[in-house]
Amino acid sequence: MEYFAKEYDVAVIGAGHAGIEAALASARLGAKTIVFAINLDSIGNMPCNPSIGGTSKGHLVREIDALGGEMGKAADKTQIQTRMLNRGKGPAVHSLRAQIDRREYSKYMKHTLELQENLDVKQAEIVDLKRTEDGKWQLKTMLEAIYSAKCVILATGTFLGGRIYIGEVSFESGPDGMFPATKLSQALKQMDIPLRRFKTGTPSRVNRRSVDFSVLEKQEGDETNTPFSFETKETPENKSFCYIAYTNDDTKEVILKNLHRSPLYSGKIEGVGPRYCPSFEDKIVRFPDKLRHQFFIEPCGLDTEELYLQGMSSSLPEDVQLKFLRTIKGLENVEVMRTAYAIEYDCVDPLALKPSLEFLDLDGLFGAGQFNGSSGYEEAAAQGLIAGINAALKVKGEEPFILDRASSYIGTLIDDLVTKGCMDPYRMMTSRSEYRLLLRQDNADIRLTPYGYKLGLISEKRYNAFQLKMQLIKDEMHRVEETTIHVSDELQELLVSRGTAPLNKGVKLVELIKRPQLSYEDLAPFDTNRPELPEEIFEQVEIALKYEGYIKRQQAQINEMRRLEVKVLPDEIDYNVIEGLRLEAREKLTKIRPHNVGQASRISGVSPSDISVLLIYLSKMGL
């Protein structure tokens, strides 16, 4: 029998990486919040790769932290190996990645939710969701408890209508053997929410004792590690190793002989898979001439013998998986602890969402994470944070918080989803941002911490420390502009050895730092008044000086983009009555309902001439 349980400001459905950040942000902004998980032991679970960060994803984690989110702190507390990727390239693409103890991460996040004021944590499956006459949302659990909320955030991950595929075997399931959320999927369809089927997969987990590491390449962490969180003061410590292995012709032969048994090629799977993280059998088909494929053997934690085979995702039958793994050098006697699988699930067409991640036509309903068609823990957490902030702001009657493309990777991610949509699971990449030289991971706090403080997610103490950092950068910039470095034999020798012109007379330190062949550290012996400062201060000054011209050019592009971003398009605008708009533009603008002219200009099918028509129309209307 149904009974009324409790009323909340915000209810979050799902406690994965999106749900965690959504619930914490909402509660920290003062909204009475509840977060539901089908199983509380799945909070913050990592059903796929036990890692946080990576190329562009590390940027997202640092941005989440700069705004006051939790993922960076959790990663720092539970990492077991840390590496900075792309060190050989420019600072725009440097990306932090950490191998994580997945159980410790889950435990950390669960406890953080439990301790958070204004937040209740509940194990329950939501089976129905509907709008009531008073404008609130009613949620019903499997046990027939009724909850009421002013706003609801859907952060269902891969649980919604989840179905597992392993060869010829298929069954309803969430990730990692959890229950799926099937009834909620039906409830959303009844509300005419545009759902579609995506799929993702995960590799086998194998027992450490069955791997011969003596024939594998060891991959160690960095000598000097960088934390994700700007608040973490302790240097992360490497506690474990990863290894690199390679497939061969025998591996390929096993795959090709059994391709007909793959649900990907037998037609059983209808969901669209991730373009940039295909299954191993898909790699074999896509790249028939490739002699071998590299993959990584990574620990799942310090207190487990499970190893994760990154890059070997598969949905082939269990016997075939074991057979092709044993063709690989070092894995000849491997024992599989968890069989790889593909999972198909329901998600929304993100074109149905506003930039705030609220639905266009369903007031108070938000989407976040894989429910929005993205992939990856970091992409999910970023969206969860923004959805949680905006749900809390809506409860307070305040304007939504929207980050534009020039502010952050988070802004780029959300703008891509709600403006361009996605035909397959969306993955963040540095190449997706046209402003990536300014959106570096090292300056995430400079870009976003003021926003986090204004919202109320950054403490006074942290903001004061941030302001001190900004002052130190300013002071050091002034110092290097005023400091003269005199000519010496040692300096001339350094300059010649680095392939840069020697000096005829003394020069300002700033001029030497600007030379691409030299670094701050190279010049330290000649900079007699160099102050004792945190390394991050020198880093910011050096990047600003070396890339000054490029940064100015990119800032000019941003200024032009923001000229269009301030031209707001009212929600009630009727594009069908605007003369001069092409038919395709009218259809796309009516469907997506862009927030401003800048967003409209990025919609596929809206041409520059259509934008000119819109600008003229707004001018005539006095907008």
Query: Model confidence over 2-21: pLDDT tens digits?
Result: 999 999 999 999 999 999 99
Say yes or no to pLDDT of 217 above 90: yes
Mean pLDDT of 501-511: 93
> pLDDT at residue 275 above 70?
no
- Min mean pLDDT across 95-99, 408-412, 576-580 is at 576-580
Percent of the chain whose predicted confidence (pLDDT) is above 90: 82
**Above 90 in pLDDT, residue 285?**
no
Q: What percent of the chain has pLDDT over 70?
A: 99
Taken as a whole, the chain contains a residue count of 623
3-state SS class at 259: helix
At 608 the pLDDT is 87
User: Which residues in 15-31 are b (16+ Cβ under 10 Å) and which e?
Assistant: bbbbbbbbbbbbbbbeb
Q: Which of 149-163, 207-221, 350-364, 574-588 has the lowest mean pLDDT?
A: 574-588
Lowest-pLDDT choice from 95-99, 125-129, 582-586: 582-586
Task: With cut-offs at 50, 70 and 90, classify the pLDDT of residue 271.
Answer: low
Residue 190: HSE in the Cβ half-sphere, 13 Å Cα cutoff: 10
The tokens of 63 are what? 């941005």
**268 pLDDT exceeds 80?**
no
pTM given for the model = 0.94
Task: Give the pLDDT confidence of 366-416 residue by residue, as tens digits.
Answer: 999 999 999 999 999 999 999 999 999 999 999 999 999 999 999 999 999
What strands lie across the sheet with 51-53, from one edge to the other? 51-53, 95-100, 79-85
Average pLDDT of the residues in 567-586: 89
Which of 64-68, 269-273, 426-430 is predicted least confidently? 269-273
pLDDT at 507: 94
> Bridge partners of 202?
341
Integer Cα distance of 263 and 37 in angstroms = 29
Query: From the CA atom positions of the chain, what is the Rg in Å?
Result: 26
Q: Kindly write down the DSSP assignment for every residue of 148-197, as one continuous string.
A: EEEEEEE--TT-BT-EEEETTEEEE--GGGPPPBHHHHHHHHHTT--EEE
The structural domains of the chain, ordered by start, are: 1-458 (3.50.50.60), 471-552 (1.10.10.1800), 566-620 (1.10.150.570)
Residue 588: pLDDT above 80? yes
Closest CA to 387 of 51, 37, 61, 17: 17
- Position 352 pLDDT exceeds 70: yes
In this structure, what token pair is assigned to residue 455?
């919202």
Full DSSP string of 203-251: --EEEGGG--GGGSEEE---SS---SSTT--SPP-----EEEEE--HHH
